[in-house]
Amino acid sequence: MSQQGYVAAPPYSQSQPGIGGFSAGFGPPNSSLHYGHYGDPNASYSAPQPGVSKSTVPFGSSAPVGPPPLGTHQFSQTSFQNGPSTSGQQPHRFQGPPHPSNTGPSYPPCSHQSQPAYPNTASTSPTAQLANQLNSMQINSYGPGTAPSSRMPSGHPASFQGPQLPPPTQQQMALPPGSQVPPPANNVNGLCAQPPLPPMARQDGIPGPVPPNPNLQQLSGQPPGPGYHPQQANYGPQMAGSQLSYPGAFPGGPAQLSGPQQKKLDPDSIPSPIQVIENDKASRGGQIYATNTRGQVPPLVTTDCVIQDQGHASPRYIRCTTYCFPSSSDMAKQARIPLAAVIQPFAIVPPNETPLYVVNHGETGPIRCNRCKAYMCPFMQFIEGGRRYQCGFCNCINDVPPFFFQHLDHIGRRVDHYERPELSLGSYEYVATLDYCRNNKPPKPPAYIFMIDVSYRNINSGLVKLICDELKTLLDKLPREEQEESSAIRVGFVTYNKVLHFFNVKSSLAQPQMMVVSDVAEVFVPLLDGFLVNFQESRSVVINLLDQIPEMFADTNESETIFAPVIQAGMEALKAAECAGKLFIFHSSLPTAEAPGKLRNRDDKKLLNTDKEKTLFQPQVNSYEALARDCVANGCCVNLFLFPNQYVDVASMGVVTMYTGGTLYKYNNFQLDADSPQFLSDLRKDIEKKTGFDAIMRVRTSTGFRATDFFGAVYMNNTTDVEMAAVDCDKAVTVEFKHDDKLNEDSGALIQCAVLYTSTSGQRRLRIHNIGLNCSSQLADIYKTCETDALINFFAKSAFKAILSQPLKAVREILVNQTAHMLACYRKNCASPSAVSQLILPDAMKVLPVYMNCLLKSCVLVGRPEIPTDERAYHRQLVMSMGVADTQLFFYPQLLPIHSLDLKSDAVPAAVRCSEERLSEAGAFLLANGLTMFLWLGVSTPPELIQGLFNVPSFAHISTEATCLPELDNPFSKKLKSILEHIQRQKPYTMKLIIVKQREQPEMLFRQFLVEDKSIYGGASYGDFLCCVHREICQLLS
């Protein structure tokens, strides 16, 4: 079969640089946000195990010193632990409180703002305090080497640039054994800024600037520099009094310092996410990345490059937390790096990359392994002259069907290797046979049902008219296959308040007909023929209906609404029509009318920071989960557009949307003039999205490991099948893997993701993505191939899932502990020996702390009365289905200095770090996180810039009411517009633009997004968090 456009290009297989990190954070952090150690898991948080008293130590209290005592960790199958596995049990990632015994001395809890933790001898500003912490903090990122015992690491530390500090400040402060360290002002054995190295000096032959001089002599009293001066491999004195707390008594508390003020630390000396992103763009941007090598690390999600499929799935479809799995489960427990893949099966492929080929074997259907049912792919090995093949997943020998037989060449490869996508490509599609269809009948094309809340508020605000007017033009843009003239998708219309109104829009009618269903307890569909129609055939009747709806309900005074029966009605209509589809529901208030799914206002701020806070994220009635299950079983996906002006219980109303693979959109206090562009843009994008309907996904693996946990907008009926009523181009499922045996370093770890779905034209298809990872018995190899961006996606989703069943404080502590464990294991086993006072970060993980801190400060994990509960539930739901690129921007927003635009080039200005220090009074900055955009203007912004953007003479004349920039015919305005469009184009949600003037009230909102700074709600700054993690590491190693 000739496949045009598929090029087998020469291998581009140079070893890939380590991966840098992800952006993070937003949203207010937390006043009582204490980060601490976690130990003993109790599966259910409430019942302590016999003999384990529940710890009441607050979150700033001591972490255990030294390794956990035997028997402290009871483990379930989901986790890893530092050091050898204790008594053969496995750790669990999200668990209960620390075991109170054997954990070393305990210290007084961190105090709150009201009283200082220590005598306030020299209270200094948080920045000075941070300087003291970090000045004595030697940050030294070693690229991954192997454990000192086996060989000295090759390569060079990657440094964090900053001016070289004079020798006195480089002095390494070692504490005498057993010295008591006062927590906040704690110079943990002194971490000291080290001489800078070239930004991307990498290890193991990875290209980078000139390595530092290996003959560098180490001066006495100076920290071990790049020359790796040999030292004893012990990890310094036991840190008797050190305590894990945020510097400054508690996050956001006043900084209490003992001792004289020290020199301010240069923030440029700690790892910069922007530097990592820019370095990756410089080394790999604009190039062709060929996927022809197992286990190679792809460019970062922030790097634009052309991906060429040569046998492994594109990183657009699959990204992994590490591209080299540990060969044994003991090793995995030791490193505690989650083994996971983020799979975005319908990701958009840019026009300059080849779309997926469709393979059609006719009635025979796809070729599969007889034993494990894996689909034919590049990992199958042909033997016996091509008559049989060995499955790469389970090693079973299978016969090749006669129609598929082909001879082998001199290297044992089939001569048609490059002509068959399923033999040479990582991703492709199969046309499925009737065996893969419901009831063995070919599916019908999907349908879209538009369900509009016509209660008093929506009519009054003009929303109903807006929706009806937009649908008139939008229905011409329904998705269709490339070869089709018009879309095969049928449409239907329902309006509702306390009752449901169905409309008959059959093409033979002169006028649409309305049928009212008032029995909402037992919803039925009053008509079949004429409800779902082809828009082109019924165009005049549908347009007529859309004109009439706003007038029909113009005099309504009905303010109560139903909700669950609306979904039920849509699902029943699809079921009766025997097709899958999507419901587009436009709704604005808490459903308080007497009907199934009725909700009450349960928004209770008194639950914040208690064990009951988790109930705010759970649905208040069980009926929504049951309804979601029925929707998935019938291929009914629910897209919900919410327009609330008060609490609507997103945690309950969003459940069906989440489980069915739908999308939730929320427009608070919707104003027609200000918010319609954002809403209409979202609606247009959603209707035109490439979507697979009635989908089921199965992830298969080669022997030795298996998929154990799935996170995303999915429903799991059993442990292996991921069911999605629909899956679109923006939805990603994060899959965690666990060992069930040793992995073979030669054959690696193979993963195949198969998605069975119905296309927009009604064809049943299988989309296959294959990826091969390496395996190693060297921990350094695991750390070298980590991808921080994918790790943060995994940690965010697993934490956001855990908050449904555990106290938020426990979840936050686990995240900090996990970060410290991963870095301590690297420090102990992979870095060359050095003083315990040095903070050493693996090259591929050097920005993990900044991203992790952003996640900890996100509004979901921080309970504060100022943050609406609905907002937290909304963000939780969005993140659960995000892919790696979206979590990257969401947690670490992009901040662009637009006053320095180069009007002559097409380039977007380089981003700066998300910190107030990077803003300037004479500058203008654009900040975007995927949901919102801010244009921040300094008080001294040049008048010509203001004139060019806003067409007003000065800063004072700028109106902050506007949500878009005026259309102006000047190069500056056009350039900024093109940048806004460029950022917007790559993201699923339309970002509303908020204009912020320096020193005015709305600036408070903007500042929450400067995620490297201490938050107004009490989350730690990046520097403080780095100290906190470093102290944890020191305790784990001591």
Query: Cα–Cα distance between 287 and 307 in angstroms, integer?
Result: 8
- In this predicted structure, the answer to whether residue 114 has a pLDDT above a threshold of 60 is no
pLDDT confidence of residue 215: 35
Amino acid identity, residue 191?
L
Average pLDDT of the segment spanning 992-1004 = 92
Helix (H, G, I), strand (E, B) or coil at 624: helix
- In this predicted structure, the answer to whether residue 995 has a pLDDT above a threshold of 90 is yes
More confident residue, 430 or 259: 430
- In this predicted structure, the answer to whether residue 546 has a pLDDT above a threshold of 70 is yes
Q: Please identify which residue in the block is written with the tokens 């033009």.
A: 473
* pLDDT tens profile 889-901: 999 999 999 998 8
pLDDT confidence of residue 234: 34
Q: Could you tell me if 913 and 895 are in contact, meaning their C-beta atoms sit under 8 angstroms apart?
A: yes
246 CB neighbour count, 10 Å cutoff: 26
Q: Which helix (H) or strand (E) holds 446?
A: none
Which residues is 57 bridged to in the sheet?
Answer: none
Q: Could you tell me if 338 and 735 are in contact, meaning their C-beta atoms sit under 8 angstroms apart?
A: no
pLDDT confidence of residue 265: 58
This prediction's pTM: 0.78
pLDDT confidence of residue 837: 81
More confident residue, 354 or 161: 354
Write the DSSP symbol of residue 912: B
242 CB neighbour count, 10 Å cutoff: 27
Which residues is 95 bridged to in the sheet?
Answer: none
* pLDDT tens profile 955-975: 999 998 888 899 999 988 999
Q: What confidence category does residue 330 fall into, taking pLDDT thresholds of 50, 70 and 90?
A: very high
pLDDT confidence of residue 919: 95
Tokens matching residue 764: 């049943």
More confident residue, 85 or 520: 520
The CA–CA distances, whole Å, from 794 to 25, 333, 596, 809 equal: 15, 17, 35, 19
pLDDT confidence of residue 55: 37
Average pLDDT of the segment spanning 177-203 = 33
- In this predicted structure, the answer to whether residue 141 has a pLDDT above a threshold of 50 is no
Q: Could you tell me if 492 and 501 are in contact, meaning their C-beta atoms sit under 8 angstroms apart?
A: no
* pLDDT tens profile 633-691: 999 999 999 999 999 999 999 999 999 999 999 999 999 999 999 999 999 999 999 99
Give percent of the chain with pLDDT exceeding 90: 69
The CA–CA distances, whole Å, from 42 to 54, 75, 106, 243, 608 equal: 10, 9, 21, 24, 22
* pLDDT tens profile 757-798: 999 999 999 999 999 999 999 999 999 999 999 999 999 999
* pLDDT tens profile 389-407: 999 999 999 999 999 999 9
Helix (H, G, I), strand (E, B) or coil at 751: strand
- In this predicted structure, the answer to whether residue 105 has a pLDDT above a threshold of 90 is no
* pLDDT tens profile 7-24: 333 333 333 333 333 333
Helices (H), 537-603: 539-552, 564-576
Query: Cα–Cα distance between 244 and 31 in angstroms, integer?
Result: 16
* pLDDT tens profile 461-482: 999 999 999 999 999 999 998 8
pLDDT confidence of residue 993: 94
Tokens matching residue 814: 């686990």
- In this predicted structure, the answer to whether residue 155 has a pLDDT above a threshold of 90 is no
- In this predicted structure, the answer to whether residue 537 has a pLDDT above a threshold of 90 is yes
Q: Please identify which residue in the block is written with the tokens 């998300």.
A: 914
Q: Could you tell me if 759 and 692 are in contact, meaning their C-beta atoms sit under 8 angstroms apart?
A: yes
- In this predicted structure, the answer to whether residue 441 has a pLDDT above a threshold of 70 is yes
**Dihedral class, residue 929 (left if φ above 0, else alpha if ψ from -120 to 50, else beta):** alpha
Q: What confidence category does residue 95 fall into, taking pLDDT thresholds of 50, 70 and 90?
A: very low
Tallying the residues shown for the chain, one arrives at: 1038
Write the DSSP symbol of residue 769: E
pLDDT confidence of residue 204: 35
Lowest mean pLDDT among 49-53, 292-296, 984-988: 49-53
Phi, psi of 1005 (to 5 degrees): -65, -45
pLDDT confidence of residue 251: 37
Phi, psi of 375 (to 5 degrees): -85, 150
Q: What confidence category does residue 604 fall into, taking pLDDT thresholds of 50, 70 and 90?
A: very high
Average pLDDT of the segment spanning 626-636 = 97
Average pLDDT along the chain: 80
- In this predicted structure, the answer to whether residue 113 has a pLDDT above a threshold of 70 is no
Average pLDDT of the segment spanning 1008-1013 = 95
Helix (H, G, I), strand (E, B) or coil at 614: helix
Q: Are strands 533-534 and 490-496 parallel, antiparallel or unpaired?
A: antiparallel
DSSP for 119-168, please give it: --SS---HHHHHHHHHHT-EE-BPPP---TTT-PPPS-PBP---PPPPHH
- In this predicted structure, the answer to whether residue 187 has a pLDDT above a threshold of 50 is no
Q: What confidence category does residue 76 fall into, taking pLDDT thresholds of 50, 70 and 90?
A: very low
More confident residue, 617 or 72: 617
- Burial of 369 per CB tally in 10 Å (0-12, 13-18, 19+): buried
pLDDT confidence of residue 94: 54
pLDDT confidence of residue 908: 84
* pLDDT tens profile 689-720: 999 999 999 999 999 999 999 999 889 988 89
What's the distance, CA 252 to chain centroid?
26
Find the largest Cα–Cα distance for the chain. 94
pLDDT confidence of residue 835: 84
Average pLDDT of the segment spanning 438-453 = 95
Query: Cα–Cα distance between 157 and 840 in angstroms, integer?
Result: 9
Start-to-end CA distance of the chain, whole Å, equals 63
Tokens matching residue 902: 């180069």
Q: What confidence category does residue 845 fall into, taking pLDDT thresholds of 50, 70 and 90?
A: very high
pLDDT confidence of residue 698: 97
Q: Could you tell me if 153 and 832 are in contact, meaning their C-beta atoms sit under 8 angstroms apart?
A: yes
Average pLDDT of the segment spanning 491-496 = 97
Q: Could you tell me if 304 and 286 are in contact, meaning their C-beta atoms sit under 8 angstroms apart?
A: yes
The CA–CA distances, whole Å, from 791 to 22, 181, 322, 347, 800 equal: 9, 33, 8, 19, 14
